[in-house]
Amino acid sequence: MTIRRLPLEGTGNFRDMGGYETEDGHLVKWQKLFRSGTLTNLTDDDLAMVSDLGLRLVCDFRREEEREESPSRLPQENGPAILNLPMGPQRDVAPLYAHLNSPDATPDDIFDAMVGIYRGFILEHTPEYKRFMEHVIGGHVPILFHCAAGKDRTGFGAALIFLALGVPMETIFEDYVLTNEFIVRNLAERFPDLESPELFHTMLDAHPEYLQASFEEIDKNYGGVEDYFLKGLGITEDHKAALREQLLER
């Protein structure tokens, strides 16, 4: 039986996106699409397991400073190609980080900042997601895509793939909140000096409202998902058909 979360020691949210059923009754193939958080702490045993996946491409959504601070560990021999598509809030100007560093911030402040980030995926980062989808549609699989926690930037990328494959929206949200079972949130151990750990929990939890904010922004700016695919991402029905041909069980 294929497992969803790979039992890696160095990262807890590395998982296979296969096995989900589409609206027309097909299943997403296993061992073709993988999503994860940071890959910095992969052990040698982890690398061997990742190597066995035969990845062709690793897409990294982290900003340059994130990659420099936490460089990925990946198989070197016959390793995958790397595609950097940096996105996300800049620490020196983003409301999220201002709130995290403020003694007066509340969880509601963090929640609102996270909603703003998810709206920004549409308003600011559609070009990056277009390139990402071009590589998936172009057959660069097996593919692994990731960010820092494997929740936000990665979560929206996973939603786009699932939508193009015809996976129901309900299932997409179920996969999104699955992150809550795997992400490391033992903040007392990771950040012993934190005065307000509830702020970080609000940031790290996969709230459905966060992902919903992206879809609301799609509706507002494009009139719906189908027009976003066509006008924003440049994905036609032929592209979707090609994607389904390679990634769905027949």
pLDDT digits (tens, 9 = 90+) for 226-244: 999 999 999 999 999 999 9
Structure tokens at 101: 């560093």
So what's the pLDDT on residue 105? Answer: 81
Q: Which residue has tokens 């994607």?
A: 243
What span, in angstroms and rounded, lies between the C-alpha atoms of 62 and 157? 13
Please give the Cα distance from 123 to 221 (Å, whole number): 8
| pTM of the complete model | 0.92
- 10 Å Cβ neighbour count for 125? 19
- Quote the CATH superfamily of domain 15-247: Protein tyrosine phosphatase superfamily (3.90.190.10)
The tokens of 219 are what? Answer: 């509706």
pLDDT digits (tens, 9 = 90+) for 87-140: 987 765 567 767 777 777 888 988 999 999 999 999 999 999 999 999 999 999
Domain ranges of the chain: 15-247
What mean pLDDT is predicted for residues 54-73? 95
Asked whether 180 and 151 are in contact (CB, 8 A), the reply is: no
Tens digits of residue pLDDT in 157-186:
999 999 999 999 999 999 999 999 887 654
Judged by DSSP in three states, 33 sits in strand
